[in-house]
Amino acid sequence: MADKGLGKSLATDGRLQASDSQDGLRGYCKSHASERDLPMIESISAITLATHDMPRAVRFYCALGFDVVYGGKASPFTSLRGGSGYLNLVTQPAQRRWCWWGRVIFHVADVDALYECALAAGCHPTTAPRDAEWGERFFHLTDPDGHELSFARPLQLPTRTRAT
């Protein structure tokens, strides 16, 4: 039997199923969070990516401006700081494979400068910097382990003036 609060979108085993109403999902999250008195999520602290080659991964991310705060090239687990967040790397055996799962988006101070830095470090971005219709300037880069990365900066949107 489905959870009635989401209009048959949450199966009894807890898996979220397709919903015909985004508002129904928002309502479900709000009502269930308030039932448990959960605090609001403030930010994402870290993301962990797998690598088959820690030295290569550490060199790659350091070349993009991340700082090692734990571990390093010889460690099976490394934590790098990027702004107020962290990127963790964990070594996985060669037989462990992963497929496309999404993209990590990092906000940076200067998209074009980082793009040039990435090129100078021998990286091969998959896109050149461009302004997107959703209000960001960005470029994409795939790390040596196949993880998709985006480096972006919100654009200053023009202010609208009202005609009088």
Domain count, the chain: 2
Could you read off the pLDDT of 19-65 as tens digits, one per residue? 444 455 455 555 555 555 666 666 788 999 999 999 999 999 999 99
Residues 101 and 59 in one domain: yes
What pLDDT shows up at residue 97? 84
pTM above 0.85, yes or no: no
Q: Which of 115, 118, 111, 157 is nearest to 137 (CA)?
A: 111
Residues 29 and 106 in one domain: no
Question: Domain range spanning residue 17?
Answer: 4-36
Q: What is the DSSP letter of 114?
A: H
Residues 26 and 83 in one domain: no
The tokens describing 22, both together, are 């985004």
